[in-house]
């Protein structure tokens, strides 16, 4: 059966641009998997095969890379993947409370996806936002900092309406307040 996945001409151009950064093709593996995941929402084995064929690399190599890194979704996930950080600083500041609140609110456990395919919840390792704990990341993209139950309610409501929260710049406390 032919591979059901195909890159668009824009994707292929992006992949060419990526390849031009490196003296060899192999370094394009990780960034090309990213292009694929942004296009298809996951990198199931068929997508890994597409990446391998596009780059002219063995499938085994691409599969090896895709399975090493946690951010690549090796199976279909919800449209919004809620990665709740529960590592040390977030753990200390209530990361697990936020995780459990989300689980209860959406009626699923971590690692699961809602029936409507809208949300998946994951408990993840440190995301490097320790000063703004507890926090989560949405589908490998926007960080939502200083979570509270109310803030989670708002975020879920906005995501249900198809709206991603915007990037939130957290200033340096030493800097003077600016609006």
Partner 1 sequence: MSDWKSYTPVLIPDIPNLHEINVYVKNGGYESLKKVLSKDWTPESVVNEVKAANIRGRGGAGFNAGLKWSFMPKPDGGPRYLACNGDESEPGTFKDRKIFEYNPHLFIEGALIAAYAMQVTTIYVYIRGEYRSWILMMEKALKDAYEKGFIGKNILGSDFSVEFHVTGGAGAYICGEETSMLESLEGKRGYPRVKPPFPAQKGLWGRPTTINNIETLACVPLVIERGADWFSGVGAPTHPGPVLYGISGHVNRPGVYELPTGMPVLQLIDEVAGGMRNGKKLKGLIPGGSSTPILRGDSLEGVNMDADSLREAGSMMGTAGMIVMDEDTDMVEMLWRIAYFYHHESCGQCTPCREGTGWLEKILLKIKNGEGEIRDLDLLLDLTTQMEGRTICALADAAAWPVRHTINRFRDEFEARCKQSTFALA
Q: Which residues of this chain interact with partner 1, rule CB under 8 A?
A: 21-24, 26-31, 33-34, 61, 64-65, 68-72, 86-89, 91-93, 125-133, 137, 140-143, 167, 169-170, 172-176, 178
CB of 173 to partner 1, least distance (A): 4
Least Å distance, CB 133 to partner 1, is: 6
| Shortest Å distance, C-beta 19 to partner 1 | 11
Q: Which is nearer to partner 1, 71 or 114 (CB)?
A: 71
Closer residue to partner 1, CB minimum distance, 89 or 114:
89
Residue positions counted in the chain:
179
Which residue, 61 or 105, is less far from partner 1 as judged by CB? 61
Helices (H), 42-129: 45-55, 59-68, 88-92, 95-106
Q: Which residues pair with 39 in a beta bridge?
A: none
Q: Taking a C-beta distance cutoff of 8 angstroms, is the pair 52, 84 a contact?
A: no
Q: How far apart are the first and last CA of the chain?
A: 57
By beta-carbon proximity to partner 1, the closer residue of 19 and 105 is: 19
Contacts of 41 by beta carbon, 8 Å cutoff, 6+ apart: 73, 76, 77, 79
């Amino acid at each position: 059966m032919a591979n059901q996945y195909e890159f668009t001409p824009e994707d292929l151009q992006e992949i060419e641009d990526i390849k031009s950064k490196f003296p060899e093709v192999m370094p394009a593996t990780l960034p090309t998997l990213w292009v694929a995941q942004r296009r298809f929402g996951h990198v199931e084995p068929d997508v890994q095969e597409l990446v391998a064929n596009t780059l002219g690399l063995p499938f085994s190599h691409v599969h090896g890379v895709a399975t090493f890194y946690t951010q690549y979704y090796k199976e279909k996930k919800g449209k919004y993947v809620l990665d709740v950080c529960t590592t040390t600083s977030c753990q200390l500041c209530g990361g697990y409370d936020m995780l459990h609140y989300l689980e209860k609110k959406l009626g699923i456990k971590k690692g699961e996806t809602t029936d409507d395919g809208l949300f998946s919840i994951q408990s993840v390792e440190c995301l490097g936002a320790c000063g703004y704990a507890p926090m989560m990341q949405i589908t490998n993209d926007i960080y939502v900092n200083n979570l509270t139950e109310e803030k989670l309610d708002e975020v879920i409501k906005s995501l249900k309406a198809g709206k991603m929260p915007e990037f939130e710049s957290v200033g340096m406390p030493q800097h003077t307040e600016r609006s």
